[in-house]
Amino acid sequence: MAIFEVTSIQQDKNTKRYCGRKCDWKKAGKLSVPAMNVNDSVTKTKFDNLYSCRESIIDSLKRSTDVMFGGKQVVLCGYGEVGKGCCQALKGLGCVVYITEIDPICALQA
């Protein structure tokens, strides 16, 4: 008798160590619990890139430049999820943000 019951499987983010067995189990029809790869999921990509970059870019810039950002002009290359987060953070500090983007949809969003 088991002490605990497995209810789901999550793939390790960095090493992807469960991928091979999980895929083999799924193909063989032996996967008895739900399994997901969180690292490649849409929600992880959208939220993690947006919010993590928004916070870390400001910390990195403050530590490396030691300048006040209010009124500074900043150019961001790209307006994907990372660019959106950086843009929000820099605008929050009072920067004038310019965006360069080759994708017309992302350019319209900017």
Pick the CATH number of 41-109 from 3.40.50.720, 3.40.50.300, 1.50.10.20, 3.40.50.1100: 3.40.50.720
Residues of the chain with pLDDT under 50: 1, 20, 22
Residue 87 CA: distances (Å) to CA of 15, 60, 93 = 31, 14, 10
What are the sequence ranges of the domains in the chain?
41-109
pTM of the model: 0.61
pLDDT of residue 75: 93
**Can you give the pLDDT at residue 110?**
83
Interatomic CA distance for residues 54 and 92, integer angstroms: 10
Q: Residue 102: what pLDDT?
A: 92
Best CA proximity match to 95, nearest among 58, 65, 66, 60: 58
Query: Parallel, antiparallel, or unpaired: how do β-strands 9-10 and 96-100 relate?
Result: unpaired
Instruction: Identify whether the C-beta of residue 22 lies closer than 8 Å to the C-beta of residue 9.
Output: yes
